[in-house]
Amino acid sequence: MAINTVMIVEDSMTDMELLTLYLQEEGLSVMPARSGEDAQARLQQQKPDLIVLDVILPGQSGFQLCRQLKSDPQTKSIPIVLCSTKNTEVDKQWGKMGGADAYLAKPVNRDKLLDTIRRFI
CATH number for the domain harbouring residue 45:
3.40.50.2300
pLDDT tens for residues 9-34?
Answer: 999 999 999 999 999 999 999 999 99
Can you give the pTM of this predicted structure?
Answer: 0.96
CB 51 within 8 A of CB 79: yes
Question: What is the domain count for the chain?
Answer: 1
- Helices 36-45 and 62-71, axial angle in degrees (round to 10): 30
CB contact burial 48-72 (16+ within 10 A = b; e otherwise): bbbbbbbbebeebbbbebbbbbbee
Residue 3's pLDDT band, with cuts at 50, 70 and 90, is: confident
Task: Give the three-state DSSP class for 116.
Answer: helix
